[in-house]
Structure 1
Amino acid sequence: MEGISRTPYHSLLCGKLAKGCGLCVQGKKMVVFVTGRCAQRCFYCPVSEHKFGKDDAYANEWKIADPTNPVELLEEARLTNATGAGITGGDPLANIKRTCEYIKLLKSRFGKKFHIHLYTPLRLVTREHLDALYTSGLDEIRVHPDLDDQSLWNRIDLARAYDWDIGIEIPAIPGYEAKTRALVDATHTKISFLNLNELELSDTTTPHYQLESLGFLPKNDISYGVAGSETLAHNIMEYARTKKLATHFCTARLKDGVQVKKRLIARATNTKGAFGEATGEGTLLFGCCYLSELSPSAGYRKKLACAGKDIDKKLMIAHKTLLTKKIQNEVDARKKRILLPLPLLRSHIQTLKDMTLVPAIVEEHPTADGFEVEIEFL
């Protein structure tokens, strides 16, 4: 097996990259958070307190309003040009029925080549659950063994009865080199690949998350990556190479600067509409006009949620008035504002202000929540 190489997407690789990862680094994988329920309590788990323990589902950042009718799941896949999905949680096996339904739905809509991988701890891995996953069409399973407890490691053997790719995915935890080597020793003949993720600090307030209290520190002032994680990963990769086990170290920079960015670029292109402009950074630029009583300021999201039919009526009046002035525009009903081409916005600032509208150039994420990155009032 060849040595460790640095990839163009800021990670380390020794051997062949797993198929799921190959699609992920292209921004082609949709993240399906199928449930926040989980029987395990990992001290490094980054899942937020808003998701952990709750039986909610998300397609990327988009919360699925009715998990029994996941229209958002299919729409998000379409809007991001996804050719595959990674199913995660929580533990997807904690709601095996929903997990299998989503796998079947995605395969039915996008075809058998739509590649689906799944992450799960070993606690709920049983023959019955694996049968259900395999029958549903799962292509790749990634197990997450507890490095502090070897008692369940042999459950990996159960997954070998099926014709799918099997891997292990765990964080590279400083101080855990001996335990991670022991895992490699116990499993290298049973799996196709080992994925090591850069350990990251989290803002979660779940009680089981303990990285800071255990003394883990960021590697620098601008990263959530933990000091020592990459060094540990490199050592484990060298060791796994002696066992001829393909290994990949996925960095925080890869996740944010490559995977998410490419996915957002695709979504921006597909959601910009008639008046938006997609940037090369995966954001959207809009020319916007706000009603004076509903322009972005403190409490903006709460005001949006409480906006009634009187706001809709005012927006429609402004929309029609602008059309009579030959100013092309449309009403953004979701965010209670008027959109117009940026050149028109810049050339009619005074007209818009005379109508008591608040003109602004808005840069925002192309995600379901439309988070505003920057607002420049004109």
Structure 2
Amino acid sequence: MAQTIRISLDVMGGDAGAEVVVPGAALALERHPGITFHLYGDEAIVAPLLEAHPALKQASTLHHCDVSVAMDAKPSQALRQGRWRSSMWRAIEAVKSGEADVAVSAGNTGALMAMSKFCLRTMANIERPAIAAIWPTARGESIVLDVGATIGADAQQLIDFALLGGAMARVLFGIERPTVGLLNIGVEEVKGLEEVRTAGKLLREADLHSLSYYGFVEGDDLGKGTVDVVVTEGFAGNIALKTAEGTAKQIGGYLRSAMNRTWRARLGYLLAKDAFDRLRQKMDPRNVNGGVFLGLNGIVIKSHGGTDAEGFAAAVELAHDMARNDLMPKISQDLLHYHRGRFAARDGSEGDQ
């Protein structure tokens, strides 16, 4: 019998709110019939939309919430006004209480992270959570983290991100020992910030059964897919993510303009339509929609606020995969193994003195 995955949704989150979330959840349910949903939102808005999706209505429990977090709300403001009552908070709280295996929201990123940290708390020995994104590459897909949860990171936090990203790669890609690289301004060991160099040294020396440390990688390695997991701090990661998204839109615009310029170009497009369709599919950001909050005592997925139903369905499917493949137990196991080795090495060195 297929495993049932329980997903809580902040139905009011995102630019379009329930008008995107409800049909997106319905699409995900078609592809994964084993999902059950807890829907948190304004009943007067959500209930009529559910009537158009009877299968989703049957697989869902609707919880009325009379508060939604604005997309431009400051995290502190959202915590003060939206705690306990908002659709975002209650979707996260469902994970904490065990009613749901994972929460998904397209709402305000800062508010979602603040509420997730406040409600779920960080895991033992994790100081900062990270947002992990799926990155299309020439080889397929990689994971990049952190892409904006926190600005700056010390060596230990970068190592934590490596362990978190490695566990996610094992779940998502089915790789026993994913390769992990630290994003740097060069591959030489003497280059880069001191914290990055220190993290690289410690990763090389650590006994990590769950991942294989590759070394430093540069910006162009993200698109090449040189490693399965790229680790960086949130400032650089967010700039890289937004640059990649903007470049993809720019190239798409160039292609559309070029294909419509002359009748010969339009004819060429028709003759090569299959190739262009494959390119469009590869570049479609909806296919990799969903950032995973890692390092918390529960799984939270952040969907892009401006996505459509297809994109939101991708975020729900990502949530399904993370829960079905036991992301949390794998992270806990990897962290336990690493810190046991770390403390044993420290105690041994102290005993030699």
- TM-score (norm. length: structure 2): 0.29
| Structure with the larger helix share | 2
Q: In terms of Rg, which structure is larger?
A: 1
Q: Which has the higher contact order (CA 8 A, sep 6+)?
A: 2
| Structure with the larger strand share | 1
